[in-house]
């Protein structure tokens, strides 16, 4: 793809301009198919339709092997880690696992994938550790949280370590939302169904 070729050759300041031009032409960060293709092929990060924010910020620590669902809200300064130093070995230094140190030929650390569901909100300054492999649909992670275990769908978690403080909705509303699968709709389809979807949670307020 010509765009990826140009992006790879461009210096950092031109990369930023190129990304801005692409996103503007394709309806913004939330909807740009080209931007998503670039992040998938160059960085190994899958970003769903409608998702926006810190997932597109290369100054954040978003490694390959991370999948964001559709319609997620990702704040700045989110850091996702996919491996730990090997504390069970005689040394925790990269000499045991990183070829850069000159002792091994390939990276030997286990790096599990992370699947982030649809309509997930991750607050500013959140740290997600390698022990986390799943964050469920509709989950909320409060700003500054350190997430050490999987997050239940539609739960709100905060703190260090992050713990569940409540569920967003009753089991019935959660079932209704899951049945609707609204996150599979594009912008135009969602506009038509918006009022019906709003009614699903009306009694919760």
Count the helix, strand and coil residues of the chain and give each as a percent rounded to the nearest 5. Answer: 35, 20, 45
Across 45-49, 89-93, 161-165, least confident range: 89-93
State the Cα–Cα distance between residues 91 and 83, nearest whole angstrom: 16
Give the pLDDT score at 164: 98
Across 3-7, 117-121, 127-131, least confident range: 3-7
Tokens, residue 138 = 């509709």
What's the mean per-residue pLDDT of the chain?
Answer: 91
- Domain 47-168: state its class: mainly beta
State the Cα–Cα distance between residues 22 and 60, nearest whole angstrom: 20
Q: Where do the structural domains in the chain lie, given as residue ranges?
A: 1-43, 47-168, 169-205
pLDDT tens digits, residue range 41-87? Answer: 989 999 999 999 999 988 788 999 999 999 999 999 999 999 989 89
Catalytic residue among 37, 81, 85, 118: 85
Interval 141-158 mean pLDDT: 98
pLDDT tens digits, residue range 2-43? Answer: 666 666 676 777 777 887 888 888 999 999 998 999 899 989
Tokens, residue 49 = 């339709």
Active site residue 85: yes
Tokens, residue 3 = 């765009």
The β-bridge relationship of strands 73-74 and 121-122 is: parallel
Tokens, residue 74 = 């990702």
CA-based nearest residue to 119, from 17, 190, 60, 42? 190
Query: What pTM, to 2 d.p., does this model score?
Result: 0.90
């Amino acid at each position: 793809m010509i765009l990826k070729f140009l992006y790879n050759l461009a210096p950092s300041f031109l990369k930023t301009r190129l990304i801005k031009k692409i996103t503007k032409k394709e309806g913004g960060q939330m909807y740009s198919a080209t931007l998503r293709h670039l992040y998938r092929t160059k960085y190994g990060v899958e970003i769903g339709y409608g998702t926006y924010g810190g997932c597109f910020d290369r100054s954040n620590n978003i490694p390959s092997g991370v999948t964001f669902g559709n319609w997620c809200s990702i704040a700045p300064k989110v850091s996702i880690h996919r491996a730990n130093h090997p504390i069970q070995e005689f040394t925790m230094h990269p000499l045991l696992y990183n070829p850069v140190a000159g002792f091994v030929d390939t990276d030997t650390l286990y790096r599990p994938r992370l699947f982030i569901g649809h309509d997930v909100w991750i607050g500013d300054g959140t740290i997600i550790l390698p022990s986390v492999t799943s964050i469920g649909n509709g989950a909320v992670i409060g700003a500054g949280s350190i997430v050490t275990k999987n997050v239940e769908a539609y739960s709100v978690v905060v703190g260090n370590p992050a713990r569940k403080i409540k569920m967003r909705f009753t089991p019935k509303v959660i079932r209704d939302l899951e049945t609707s699968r609204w996150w599979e709709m594009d912008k135009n389809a969602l506009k038509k169904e918006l009022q019906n979807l709003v009614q699903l949670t009306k009694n919760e307020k």
